[in-house]
Amino acid sequence: MLNFYPGPSKVYPEVRSYLLDAYDEGFMNTPHRGEQFVQMSRTVVNSIKRKINIPQDYYIFFASSATECWEILIQSLTRHKSYHIYNGSFGEKWYEYAKKLRPNAEGFQFDLNEPMPVSDLQVSADTELICFTQNETSNGTQVSPTTILNLHNRYRDTLIAVDATSSMAGLNLKLIKADIWFASVQKCFGLPPGLAVIACSPRSIFRAKKLAERSHYNSLVPMYEKMLNYQTTHTPNELNIYLLKRMLEDRPFIKGIEQHLTDRAQDLYTFFEQFADFKLLVENEEVRSKTVIAVQANEKLVEDAKKRALHHNIRLGNGYGPWARNTFRIANFPAIQDEEYEELKRFFLHYYA
């Protein structure tokens, strides 16, 4: 099965051997307070900073999912409200979730074909956290590094948190331009679901310690205190952390990965532009995602393409949210090989050219 679903997506084929090694090396039942886990955790923290280009003074934490990260950040970094900028389903869900915890949370929605309009934002002085999704998995859009820089420059005194679930480990993100970045590992990391990585700036930890929120399963201050010794507040997903360690050891640096994905994304966009019955959901090239390609057609054709592809052992991603019925999505993640995309293109040329 060729899996182009944008999460959980294809895992690196080496994961099979990593799992056997984890069993043989005892990582499936090692105490999470023991030295074996601590050494592994320390190695992962150092590797992820080096391979993914995370600033050395940022703190790394583990959670179960990006969705849990939404909760951790709202409960530990705000007392009153956050401000959410979104153009798709996952950014909006983060906003809706924040309102359940902090009813004063505010949101700003913009169109999927326009860049984030930083100059139009009305972020009040009492906003404690600005939140947005860098790569919107639901519709195949992205917020560019230039836009993130503009946001950073305009709101230097406000913490900024970024959901990078479908771009971290695929793109060379400029993490210094925001305070918190997080991602689940079942997309660009090429690993099974059940683990998320959070990177926090020193000033975000300073804010967390000032608020001193300790009331939840994963509150940021206890997480910080435990990770000073490379431990977690809870029994972690040790197996997936081990897989993360091995994956980072075997992968190139992020700059090379990003260039490959960028070139491949452009090839895929060019390919789908040639069809009369399909069109790209995102018309503005400036805001098109490099890691999730959304293709639009009438509902009948979308359903036909997904069923035909599945018959040929090709799994396309369903549409999501408002675009659930009239789009399909294609993951452009590092674990998927170039030849698999060539097979995908042959399929579309055979049936729809």
The annotated binding site is made up of 329
Please enumerate, by residue number, every residue annotated as part of a binding site for substrate: 329
Other C-beta atoms closer than 10 Å to the C-beta of 172 total 18
Q: Are 87 and 141 in contact (CB under 8 A)?
A: yes
C-alpha angle 11/286/274, rounded to 5°? 75
Instruction: Tell me 319's DSSP state.
Output: P
Structure tokens given for 308:
């035909």
Parallel, antiparallel or unpaired: strands 2-3 and 314-315: parallel
Residue found under tokens 């293109």: 345
Instruction: Tell me 322's DSSP state.
Output: G
Helix, strand or coil, per DSSP, at residue 142: strand
Question: Which of 183, 175, 231, 208 shows the shortest CA–CA distance to 73?
Answer: 208
Rounded distance between C-alpha atoms, residue 259 and residue 267, angstroms: 12
Q: Are 287 and 112 in contact (CB under 8 A)?
A: yes
Helix (H) or strand (E) holding 86: strand 82-86
Rounded distance between C-alpha atoms, residue 182 and residue 56, angstroms: 16
Rounded distance between C-alpha atoms, residue 300 and residue 278, angstroms: 12
For 327, residues 6+ apart whose C-beta sits below 8 A from its C-beta are 139, 281, 294, 295, 296, 297, 302, 319, 320
